[in-house]
Structure 1
Amino acid sequence: MDDIKYGEILMPGDEEAQERQEKTVRSKFWPTLRKAARYIPFSRDVVAAFYCALDPQTPTRVRGILLAALGYFVMPIDIIPDFFAVIGYSDDVAVLTLAFGMVKGHIRQEHYDAADRALANEHEAAKTA
């Protein structure tokens, strides 16, 4: 995958595209994260990015980039299908890493705090299941 392809994936899109992307991310994020957590070495950052993307105080362009990256992450069919276990998530990791670099400084401590709470709740729910 070359830089041009990354740029195409991470296009913030217009308001309508962002709304569609947000709906998809909201509905598919947690189930996808549960399946991918052991293959994504920075799950906490991914969850913080999720909260940053949903934060109305986050600038529109940043929200768009994060929603595009998270949308790519939650889609089951991408450059390398995720059912290929470890290697299947390598393209998702690359897209997320690039997005994080593009929005550096916008994922704030409050997003990480929300991520920590959510991950703790997920961990507790898994123990009782």
Structure 2
Amino acid sequence: MTGLDGEILEPDDVSGNTTRGADESSVRAGFWRTFGKAAKQIPLAEDVVAAYYCALDPKTPAKAKAVLLGALAYFIMPMDAVPDILALVGFSDDIAVLTLAIATVRSHLTEAHRIAARKSIADLAADKTKA
């Protein structure tokens, strides 16, 4: 979305380990679309976007990536426990899952992830004001 993927995220882990698969592809494909719809309803927007960058960062340990990718995949699923189309409560289950995942791997969220998150959110807001 913002070009920050290339600055923070490398194509593959240098060690040869990779967690790319269906979950990562799904998250990459659907995150920004879902986040754009939910941004006003998400109280921890910066943490959620930082978690996105952390999950895709090759330096993040595999267990932390798995936790974050699972939570982010749940976030972008069109059908879940509480349908996202329901006003005010639609993203509540998604936020609960994301909050737990972020709390579990908080030590792996770096300042680079947070900077990228702030920039992406600012870019998204600027794009919306232009539209």
Q: Give unmatched runs, 5+ long, in structure 2.
A: 1-16
Match of 2:13 in 1: none
Deviations 1:91-126 (A, max 9, x none): 101101110111121111100001111111111111
Count of aligned pairs: 115
Helix, strand or coil for the counterpart of 2:103?
A: helix
Aligned to 1:74: 76
Q: Do structure 1's residue 121 and structure 2's residue 123 form an aligned pair?
A: yes
Q: Is the 8 A contact 1:80 1:91 kept in 2?
A: yes
Q: TM-score, normalised by structure 2?
A: 0.83
Q: Distance in 2 between matches of 1:17 and 1:77?
A: 24
> Cα RMSD between the aligned structures?
1.6
Give the 3 Å change call, closer, same or farther, for CA 16–112 of structure 1 in structure 2: closer
Higher helix proportion: 1
Q: Is the CA contact (8 Å cut-off) linking 2:19 and 2:62 kept in structure 1?
A: no
Shift >2 Å, 4+ stretches: 15-18
SS at match of 1:41: coil
Deviation at 1:16, TM superposition (A): 9.1
Is 1:18–1:64's contact at 8 Å kept on the other side of the alignment?
no
Q: Which segments of 5 or more consecutive residues in structure 1 lack a partner in the other structure?
A: 1-14
Report the Cα offset of residue 17 of structure 1.
Answer: 8.0
TM-score by length of 1: 0.84
Tell me whether 1:22 sits opposite 2:27 in the alignment: no
